[in-house]
Amino acid sequence: MTTGHVPTRIVPALPRRWRGKYLVERNIVANKAFWPVLVSGFFEPVFYLFAIGVGIGQLAGDVTVAGIPVDYAAFVAPAMLAASAMNGAVFESTNMFFKLKYQKIYDAALATPMQAMDVATGEIAWALIRGAFYSLAFLVVMAVMGLIHSPYGILAFPATVLIGLAFGAAGTAAITYMRTWQDLDLITLVTLPLFLFSATFYPIDVYPPFIQVITWLSPLYHGVILIRGLTLGILEWTMLINVAYLGAMGAVGSWVTGRRIERLLLR
């Protein structure tokens, strides 16, 4: 009697799946009890819109954009929308500090098949979801107030998602370099000037030339110009530069976040 050799069956490798979704699901469950905090971030840009766009707008009159006179409220509203996307993404990313330094959530996550880039993209995706939530609600307010002057305004929502990606990725990358709670003050130190000096309340040409150059470097400026062009129906080829700028910022921020998490937790 001879014993035959049983060939070993080769099992093909499973396709690489995005496991960052588990962190997103975890954040959704963890924030169910704190939904008033999530909703509160929506009101700040709305208050600015009513106080400045509507209130001061009665005194400011029309603003010229690309040679077209525009009501001041319609000029300010897209900037508030972009700021809403920025704030939602950035301030959600600050919660990563507590998870990284104290809860040790990512240490546990990396003990599973999740990889550092899964952790990075999962947290960025959650920040993006929060920013998109604020943006959608604010966009509804703009529509009710009649501040969307073009059918292209519907594209403002995906534009805010792009803004959320850019700032969410930059925010999570910055958090990985912070060591104490006091370092979080730097977030406000950066976002407040961006909010005030990104052609938010005034056209860029009212600034001195050197301020205009600095403003061009502001990621929020690129978001403001992109959304303003869409809601007013003023489309220019330079909007492709705005999209490329924000996309590159999101890609670089995601890569840096992944590398930093790997360096902090796996070495």
In a domain, 153, yes or no: yes
Instruction: Give whole-number Cα distances, 153 to 74, 135, 157, 226, 252, in Å.
Output: 12, 13, 8, 11, 28
Determine contact, residues 134/40, Cβ cutoff 8 Å: no
Per-residue pLDDT reduced to its tens digit, 30-57:
666 666 655 666 676 677 777 766 667 6
In a domain, 24, yes or no: no
Task: Enter the tokens of residue 132.
Answer: 């998109």
Per-residue pLDDT reduced to its tens digit, 256-267:
988 888 887 766
Q: Which H or E run contains 57?
A: helix 57-60
Mean pLDDT within 214-233 = 92
In a domain, 13, yes or no: no
In a domain, 18, yes or no: no
In a domain, 138, yes or no: yes
Domain count, the chain: 1
In a domain, 216, yes or no: yes
Per-residue pLDDT reduced to its tens digit, 94-121:
777 777 777 777 777 777 777 878 888 8
Enclosing domain of residue 218: 35-266
In a domain, 157, yes or no: yes
In a domain, 25, yes or no: no
Asked whether the whole model's pTM tops 0.85, one would answer no
